[in-house]
Chains A and B, each alone.
Chain A
Amino acid sequence: QKEVEQNSGPLSVPEGAIASLNCTYSDRGSQSFFWYRQYSGKSPELIMSIYSNGDKEDGRFTAQLNKASQYVSLLIRDSQPSDSATYLCAVITNDYKLSFGAGTTVTVRA
């Protein structure tokens, strides 16, 4: 079983819609969770971190964490064409290393 799994993409949403990205992880002891955005040809850029169960909002982004279900998600509200990118879920495992999911490519249609 992979340590971090993301819902398969690509995900195409119309401009203004909500994009929903999902991620599950296998290490029940994980405490730190991150979402990175990666534009084509660029390096990953941190957009959200979350450490506690529940929701965390930052602008148009909301991260949701459910440790009991080992599930973390990212919602992008009012999606814009500039949100078109690959989104990487990352989890710090119990040996303090960052493990990445395969990524979900999002395309926002104008």
Chain B
Amino acid sequence: SAVISQKPSRDICQRGTSLTIQCQVDSQVTMMFWYRQQPGQSLTLIATANQGSEATYESGFVIDKFPISRPNLTFSTLTVSNMSPEDSSIYLCSVGGGVSDTQYFGPGTRLTVL
């Protein structure tokens, strides 16, 4: 499976600021995804990061709040904009997908918003 890294691993931010999270994969992958895991909850898909086009967002998530870039097949960023304490979560990128492809997860970014 691909080796996935995320930066930063954790951060503490002030409300109203923005944080950009990076996801780097050691091989080219077609599908990259961003998830949020709120404290004590399961994973919720934020969006699918598409190479060369806009990300596809799930219901309840919008581009203005969570802009995503996918400049190539090994890298993506997720920005959490105008943060509030409700954005305190673990943000995870994953790769893989499709009908039977397995998804593998990066180590996650633990975000705390004060």
Residues of A at under 8 Å CB distance from B? 31-32, 34, 41-46, 49, 51, 88, 90, 92, 96-103
Specify which chain A residues have a CB less than 8 angstroms from the CB of B104 in the assembled complex.
46
Residues of B at under 8 Å CB distance from A? 33, 41-45, 48, 90, 92, 94, 97-100, 102-108, 110
Closest residue to B106 on the A side, CB-wise?
A43
A88 lies within 8 A of B42 (CB): yes
Interface residue from A51, A90, A103 paired with B100 (Cβ < 8 Å): A51
Give the interface SS of chain B, mostly helix, strand, loop or mixed: strand
Interface residue from A45, A97, A102 paired with B42 (Cβ < 8 Å): A102
Interface residue from B42, B48, B103 paired with A103 (Cβ < 8 Å): B42
In the complex with contacts A98-B45, A100-B42, A102-B41, A92-B100 CB distance below 8 A: yes
**Residue among B41, B42, B100 with max Cβ neighbours from chain A (10 Å):** B42
Give me 24 A-to-B residue pairs in the complex whose CB atoms sit less than 8 angstroms apart, sorted by A's number.
A32-B99, A32-B100, A41-B110, A42-B107, A42-B108, A43-B92, A43-B106, A44-B43, A44-B92, A46-B102, A46-B103, A46-B104, A88-B43, A90-B103, A92-B97, A92-B99, A92-B100, A98-B94, A98-B97, A98-B103, A99-B45, A100-B42, A102-B42, A103-B42
Nearest 4 pairs of A and B residues by beta carbon: A43-B105, A43-B108, A100-B42, A100-B43
Give the Cβ gap from B40 to chain A, nearest Cβ, in Å. 9
